[in-house]
Amino acid sequence: MSDYRITLKPVYSQTVPTPEGLKLPDGWLLVWHQAQTLKALHDPDIEVVFNTAMTGDGKSLAAYLNVLQGECSAIGLYPTNELARDQETQIRGYIEQFQPTNDPRVVRLSGPELEIYAENEGLRKGAAIATRTNQSEVVLSNPDIWHYLHRGAYLTCGDSPDKLWGRIDKDFDLFIFDEFHVSQAPQIVSTINTMLLIRCTNRRKKFLFLSATPEKQLIERLEKAGFRCQLINPIEENKYEFPDTPEQGLQLQAKGWRQVSRTITLNFIPLELTVKASETWVRENSHLILSQFQQYPGSKGAIILNSIAAVKRLTPFFREILQPYGLIVGENTGLSAKGEKERSLAADLVLGTSTIDVGVDFKINFLIFESSDAGNFIQRLGRLGRHDGYHKDSQFIKFETFTAFALVPNFLVERLFQGKPAPLEINGIYDRPFFQDKIKEFYRQINDFQGYYRRWGAVQSFRLYYQLSDRTIKQQYAQSREKFREACEQVFDTNLKSVAGHIKGWADEWRHLSGKKEGNPIAEDASSFRGSSPLLCGLYDVTEANEAERFKTYDLPGILGNLEIELWTEAAFGRSLKETAQRTGQPIPKGRFAHCLAFMKLHSYREERLNWKFTYSGDLQPVGDAWKVQVLTGVEIWQPENRWAGEINKRLKNEGLVGYVIRRPVSEVRMRLRLPMHFQIYPISDQYSFHDATAPYSIAFGQSALLLDTLASWFKGQGGEIWVA
């Protein structure tokens, strides 16, 4: 056990009388925030609603109550396809329980599924989207597709820009954004721009954001644009209770309060900030996991880490340890096959990077988790303590205890337990709001990239503004176009005419560098949802049991450090994909491999990470001294242990990469700029520093380069000049 242990009190949420006219299944009651969300969505004076209820308190039901009454159609947007798939199951369950008279149809849209549907039906993607959305009252997708749909990405030559979004925006009344706290500035910008486009070209719609940790910048900028917003915060309204004793909990239940979370023993495990610190601790303390199952038979546990490679290494390790005791180990990562995820629900211990299913379908009473920031910490801890137990073979297995181990940096433990006065006491007992406030206050404060909105947000606005001047819709949207321009300039504190000048300048520079008449890589990254992936590679994973799931994508930096690979040709990869699809009878979407840098076979995950770095054939000093985002060619990799490096470099060095270079080592840049844990920034050397033990330069690519650009003035004399449109 840990020396730094606290107890978190249980959480109860207040129920309310059923609103007049609302039909609920027998025995159901709404909690306060659900009723308030429904009320706000019915209020004609409210356009945007933020629900900040605690994890596990039924925010999803609040979002779809109107749909379940047969009163509206909704589009639900989720940060991952896995979460959208999980929500589809949940919503279908709600429909079965509520039995709405219109029997709303639910469809899920993702890039791979759209591709397969279009091929099967002999349609283009745009036509597939139109067909699927026209046949449903609930569409579950990701914000990427929603954004690109409004950018005209799925149209064919000659189509009017509003061919898809014009109808979809009219047909659907409610747009739901779940887990929005995971979005960074570029995704928030995309969401704001699309909301403004809908608002200026359509009748008023409703937008609902669900997040226990809401994004303050989004709220502020939406209000600046004139959106009428309402924040629903049950904590501030004292709609939660945290009883000190089981007797008090029973009294609350007698009054109708609903239990959201059980009492949790939380152990803090302080670790050094090294690459494999969490993985090493988990290995060395495997006896704690085994003793949990032995001491409390019927337990179910989860280990949630940040690294896919670590999970891939630890899964067979725990299978070997726990199999003799009849315990099943499952895996739950973004690279896991569908079948593997289904099997994981029957497991005793699940390891993963994803919290999908954990604490929902896969009910747990034991959790070991790593986190990257305060919001991530709170979200992952929130998967524990949500259920009294689970059913197995028609028998109910009741959990006896709920225990968590938080693998955190040393500095967090020092700040929480060793301050004067210390915010937390060892063996102290705390309620959730107090505890979560301390985590937010004392965890590492990562950069929120506030400068991105003013510096890059309107590049995307200009593209949408220009689209509204298309000859096919120019007259129809003449007034809307000017409203949209005024709103964007207000929100992003800029001038679209000035932005147009910058965009033209980038295009001229690209033509001069590449010799191509078309293209503008910097503008493309600035106006996209997640940016391009110039270092994305196609992988054939030979370790995957399910043949149809062996075809994956992975970024080159992650491959160099973590994977044992064999270089493959694109033609061989394509033939294997086609043959596998024919042999298994399962269609395999191939669109995601269209722009891969290279194709490889993945043989295994390395036990130890290999060192590597980027290199530049010329002098990086003038590149770094330019203090701007540039398109670079001549970038290569250096990794002596990699016999495929030469072949990779043949392809890499000719790529035009949107990049930003700083003349400081990566570790210093990360620390001083408070970059998020997974921020994509890498070491790079030039011809003069090739043999230096530590690369003196850092480089970020794509959208990461744009984000870095908004901060780099700190190194340019701590407040140097930046361009502002």
Examine the pLDDT at 715 and tell me if it is beyond 80: no
- pLDDT bin (cut points 50, 70, 90) of residue 462 is very high
Tell me: do 215 and 330 sit in the same domain.
no
Distances from the Cα of 558 to the Cα of 474, 562, 681, angstroms? 46, 6, 12
Q: How far apart are CA 342 and CA 323, in angstroms?
A: 19
Tell me: do 83 and 125 sit in the same domain.
yes
- Mean per-residue pLDDT, 237-244: 96
Tell me: do 320 and 399 sit in the same domain.
yes
Those residues whose C-beta lies under 8 Å from the C-beta of residue 683, and which sit 6 or more positions away, are 613, 614, 665, 666, 694, 695, 697, 698, 699
Picking from 407, 427, 442, the residue at the C-terminal end of a domain is 442
Question: Which residue, 296, 606, 265, 229, is CA-closest to 429?
Answer: 265
Tell me: do 381 and 313 sit in the same domain.
yes
Q: What is the DSSP letter of 10?
A: P
Tell me: do 60 and 194 sit in the same domain.
yes
- Mean per-residue pLDDT, 283-301: 95
Average pLDDT score over the chain: 90
Q: Is the distance from CB of 142 to CB of 176 less than 8 angstroms?
A: no
For residue 259, list its beta bridge partners: 12
56: helix, strand or coil: coil
Picking from 555, 573, 605, the residue at the C-terminal end of a domain is 605
Question: Which residue, 644, 648, 625, is CA-closest to 636?
Answer: 648
Q: Is the distance from CB of 692 to CB of 653 less than 8 angstroms?
A: no
| Residue 422 CA, distance from chain mean position | 33
Whole-number pLDDT of residue 344: 64
Tell me whether residue 449 is in a domain: no
Whole-number pLDDT of residue 129: 85
Those residues whose C-beta lies under 8 Å from the C-beta of residue 233, and which sit 6 or more positions away, are 52
522: helix, strand or coil: helix
Tell me: do 350 and 375 sit in the same domain.
yes
Cα dihedral 88, 94, 96, 99, rounded to 10, equals -130
Tell me whether residue 353 is in a domain: yes
Examine the pLDDT at 120 and tell me if it is beyond 80: no
Tell me whether residue 341 is in a domain: yes
For residue 406, list its beta bridge partners: 268, 369
Q: How far apart are CA 292 and CA 365, in angstroms?
A: 10
Tell me whether residue 248 is in a domain: no
Query: CA angle, 467 as apex, 466 and 468 as ends, to 5°?
Result: 90
Examine the pLDDT at 233 and tell me if it is beyond 90: yes
Residue labelled with tokens 């299978």: 319
DSSP string computed for 589-644: --GGGTT-S-EEEEEEE-SSPPP-EEEESS--HHHHHT-S-EEE--EEEE-TT-TT
Tell me whether residue 411 is in a domain: yes
CATH of the domain at 385: 3.40.50.300
Examine the pLDDT at 721 and tell me if it is beyond 60: no
Phi, psi of 598 (to 5 degrees): -155, 170
* Tokens found for residue 430: 């705390």
What residues make up the domain containing 569? 536-605
Tell me: do 60 and 205 sit in the same domain.
yes
Q: Is the distance from CB of 294 to CB of 304 less than 8 angstroms?
A: no
Q: How far apart are CA 640 and CA 626, in angstroms?
A: 31
Whole-number pLDDT of residue 1: 56
pLDDT digits (tens, 9 = 90+) for 587-619: 888 888 988 999 999 999 988 888 999 999 999
pLDDT digits (tens, 9 = 90+) for 317-326: 999 999 999 9
Query: CA angle, 110 as apex, 104 and 113 as ends, to 5°?
Result: 90
Whole-number pLDDT of residue 722: 36
Whole-number pLDDT of residue 337: 47
Tell me: do 617 and 598 sit in the same domain.
no
Tell me: do 341 and 414 sit in the same domain.
yes
Tell me whether residue 408 is in a domain: yes
Which helix (DSSP H) or strand (DSSP E) does residue 433 occupy? helix 432-442
Please classify residue 248 by burial: count the beta carbons closer than 10 Å to its beta carbon, then call 0-12 exposed, 13-18 middle and 19+ buried: middle
Whole-number pLDDT of residue 638: 96
Examine the pLDDT at 316 and tell me if it is beyond 70: yes
Examine the pLDDT at 718 and tell me if it is beyond 70: no
For residue 4, list its beta bridge partners: 268
Q: How far apart are CA 652 and CA 535, in angstroms?
A: 8
Greater model confidence, 152 or 483? 483
Question: Which residue, 299, 321, 303, 324, is CA-closest to 312?
Answer: 303
Which helix (DSSP H) or strand (DSSP E) does residue 264 occupy? strand 264-271
Whole-number pLDDT of residue 392: 86
Picking from 571, 605, 639, the residue at the C-terminal end of a domain is 605
* Tokens found for residue 671: 């620390």
Tell me whether residue 201 is in a domain: yes
Question: Which residue, 173, 212, 230, 216, is CA-closest to 58?
Answer: 212
Q: Is the distance from CB of 107 to CB of 97 less than 8 angstroms?
A: no
| Residue 91 CA, distance from chain mean position | 21
Whole-number pLDDT of residue 217: 75
| Residue 701 CA, distance from chain mean position | 19
Examine the pLDDT at 41 and tell me if it is beyond 70: yes
Whole-number pLDDT of residue 343: 65
321: helix, strand or coil: helix
- In this structure, how many other beta carbons lie within 10 angstroms of the beta carbon of residue 606? 13
Tell me: do 26 and 66 sit in the same domain.
yes
* pLDDT-wise least confident of 60-64, 124-128, 302-306: 124-128
Tell me: do 276 and 419 sit in the same domain.
yes
Examine the pLDDT at 339 and tell me if it is beyond 90: no
Using N-to-C axis directions, what is the helix angle for 185-201 and 702-709, rounded to 10°? 90
Tell me: do 600 and 640 sit in the same domain.
no
Whole-number pLDDT of residue 356: 66
Positive or negative: CA dihedral 72, 77, 78, 82: positive
Query: CA angle, 342 as apex, 341 and 345 as ends, to 5°?
Result: 90
Calculate what percentage of the chain has a pLDDT beyond 70. 95
HSE of 621, CA atoms in CB hemisphere, 13 A: 4
* End-to-end C-alpha distance for the chain, whole angstroms: 55
Q: How many domains does the chain have?
A: 4
Q: Is the distance from CB of 276 to CB of 609 less than 8 angstroms?
A: yes
User: 158-195 burial, b for 16+ CB within 10 Å, e for fewer?
Assistant: eeebbbbbbebbeebbbbbbbbbbbbbbbbbbbbbbbb
Tell me whether residue 405 is in a domain: yes
- In this structure, how many other beta carbons lie within 10 angstroms of the beta carbon of residue 556? 22
pLDDT digits (tens, 9 = 90+) for 70-118: 889 999 999 888 888 889 989 999 999 999 988 999 999 888 878 887 7
Greater model confidence, 567 or 203? 567
Greater model confidence, 31 or 332? 31
pLDDT digits (tens, 9 = 90+) for 641-683: 899 999 999 999 999 999 999 999 999 999 889 898 889 999 9
* Tokens found for residue 465: 């503004």
